Structure 1
Amino acid sequence: MNNVHEYKVEITTGQYVTAPLEQQLMIRHLLGENVECHFEIYFHWYNMIHELGHAIFEYNCPNRPHPADEEQLVNHFAIEEEVTEYVSELERIIKPLNPLLIYVDQQDVRFAFEKAIDDRPREWSEGFIEYYTTQGYGKMRGCEGVDGTVQVLEERKSIELEIFNRLKIDKHKIDNSAFDMEKCKYELRKILS
């Protein structure tokens, strides 16, 4: 399709009220009070962003990926947007409480991860690597081993810092790249005083 004006996509989202009773009870248990409103907001926005991802593929990719791969890619896109929106909503809710956010940063993700591998039991690193490479972003990108885990952690850090920079609350970063606990404690005391 060459003309974007001829292109149309219908986006359909879930509805709490039409779900079977068993699903309604499960959703009510998960989302708490005012469940119908929470469900509609969450699923409409998530599904809208998710389906928008499919529409982008359909219009822009003459050679679309395998449906399973495309599903993972649009899920990642929707989840990243969902996380950002979720954190923004949390910020709005807690802002009257004057929260303080302290982000402990590592400049070199690879060095920090390899240090953790050296300092901890082998079972820890194997489990950590498996966790980050066999689901979500890691699985979608075909990440494997230490290099793949570092790739996932760097992407995660990028999203965290993007969210951190958007927040309009009292926030501070502590650089722990030197692994100097005394310096971190000093910085923390300075922030809290």
Structure 2
Amino acid sequence: MPGTGNLPCVRISPAGSAIAATLLSILTACGSSDSTVAITPDASHTGPVSSSAAPVEAQPATPEPATPEPDPCPTNLAAPAIARAVSELPRDPRSGQAWNPEPIAGNYNECAQLSAVVVRANTNAANPNTRAVLFHQGKFVSSGAPDTFGFNGIDEAQSTGDTVALTYSSGIPGLSSVVKFRWNGSGVELVANTP
């Protein structure tokens, strides 16, 4: 077929011309935003169409929870400063043995004004002596501290950054106590003794 470009040349009869003009007027009557889908009802929908449907709002994306920054000074009962301090302690007066450097309790923290660990005598006795070892900003308080023999735990709820609440519990109801020690700016002082 002769034609120009890539399009074939089509001859339209006068009757076909009328049909083409009608189709053209129908197509141009529909705006560019109209579509067959918009004006054709959904075949699967059997109920009446409601024009009062509430618009669906996009839900905001839930942000990922931020990972907390690691505590620069967490409790560290495996700190080398603990073993060094325990090695400097005089021997247990009852057994004559050195102290076991592995704490049975503690809140050692190199940033705290006052923290402590509780150690026991390095003996196989049924009830070895125990004592608390006190630290100021991670450094062993070797002198000037009150006696800390006999304590076997730490009350975390009553301890703060500058106060350590040492506990003694015999296992017998009514025979336990809490003694608080506080860093006063230059040394350790006894604050309170509660049953």
Give the TM-score normalised by the residue count of structure 1.
Answer: 0.24
Pick 1 or 2: higher relative contact order, CA cutoff 8 A, min separation 6.
Answer: 1
Instruction: Identify the structure with the greater helix proportion.
Output: 1
Higher CA-based Rg: 2
